[in-house]
């Protein structure tokens, strides 16, 4: 067999592998959630987080949110409440604190 023929067989053996559809959908949804969270909730939180030890629960909650199966649900609920939090908040820092509290509560409620 010539090298060219062998390379053709190699190409057939190492064919591209499609990920399972449910995995692709799950991953894309996770990335969208991450992007939205990063752009909105987390950005506000980062401005004020380390000033107040009460907010240090937020990274732990975020880690749980990022890893757990209930992550999408937490994020969806957080997104759903965002408008209400924004309306209730006096300023960005207030919004950040409300977001942190809400997320921690939601994560505690939904995740093991």
Partner 1 sequence: MPDEPDAKADLDRSFSELYRTHLRDVYSYAYYRVGNHHDAEDLTEQTFLQAYRHYERALRESDGRPLRPWLIRIAHNLAANYYRDRARRPESAIEDAAVISAPHTTETLVEGREELERILAGVQRLPDDRREALIMRFALGMDNREIARALGRSDGATKVLLHRAVKQLEGIVGENGADPTAEEAA
Q: How far apart are CA 39 and CA 23, in angstroms?
A: 24
**Cβ 10 to partner 1 shortest distance, Å:** 5
The contact pattern for partner 1, residues 15-54, with x = CB under 8 A and - = no contact, is xxxxxx--xx--xx-xxx-xx---x---------------
DSSP class of residue 14?
Answer: T
Residue 54 structure tokens:
């009460």
Q: How far apart are CA 103 and CA 112, in angstroms?
A: 14
Q: Per CB under 8 A, does 7 bind partner 1?
A: yes
**Cβ 93 to partner 1 shortest distance, Å:** 16
On whether the CB atoms of residues 107 and 64 are closer than 8 A, the answer is: yes
Interface positions with partner 1 (CB under 8 A): 3, 6-7, 9-20, 23-24, 27-28, 30-32, 34-35, 39
């Amino acid at each position: 067999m010539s090298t060219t023929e062998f390379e053709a067989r190699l190409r057939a053996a190492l064919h591209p592998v499609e990920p399972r559809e449910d995995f692709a959908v799950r991953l894309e949804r996770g990335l969208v959630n991450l992007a939205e969270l990063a752009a909105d909730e987390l950005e506000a939180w980062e401005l004020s987080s380390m000033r107040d030890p009460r907010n240090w629960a937020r990274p732990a909650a975020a880690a749980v949110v990022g890893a757990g199966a209930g992550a999408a649900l937490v994020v969806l609920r957080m997104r759903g409440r965002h408008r209400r939090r924004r309306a209730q908040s006096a300023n960005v820092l207030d919004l950040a604190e409300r977001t942190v509290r809400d997320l921690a509560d939601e994560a505690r409620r939904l995740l093991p």
